[in-house]
Amino acid sequence: MDGSDVNAVCRSNDNMCLASADDFGFVNLYKWPSPVDAAACNKNSGHSSHVTNVAFSKNEDGQKYLVSTGGEDKCIFQWKYKPDVDGFAESAIEEADQSAPPFDDGYAMAE
């Protein structure tokens, strides 16, 4: 309603990527820093409606994850963050498999 499409942003722990959550159900990845307007991004879909938040995590085993939360779909997605040597890949995140360790932010998650 306010004319903006971006609901949240988070910079990766390696300072190479910026993730954004938008009103169209996408989790977008941008190279960081990006000195140009309208920079190209990697669009990742999965949520059925707007995405309300994104956050990066680094687990003890060195695996890197991005967590996104949906609005109307009420889903929490855990994505595996896989940057290339430049910190960004054509497909830098993928849906993590069910055996992946959960995002640990100190809160218990319902099973």
| Beta-carbon-side half-sphere exposure of residue 101 (alpha carbons within 13 Å) | 12
Distance CA 51, CA 72 (A): 9
User: pTM for this one?
Assistant: 0.71
Question: How far is Cα of residue 3 from the mean position of the Cα atoms in its chain?
Answer: 22
pLDDT digits (tens, 9 = 90+) for 33-88: 888 888 888 898 889 889 999 999 877 666 788 999 998 888 999 988 887 655 45
Q: For residue 27, name the pLDDT band (cuts at 50, 70, 90).
A: very high
Phi and psi at residue 92, in whole multiples of 5°?
-80, -20
Q: How do the domains of the chain map onto residue ranges?
A: 6-95
Query: Which residues partner with 10 through β-bridges?
Result: 19
Phi and psi at residue 9, in whole multiples of 5°?
-135, 155
81: left (phi over 0), alpha (psi -120 to 50) or beta: beta
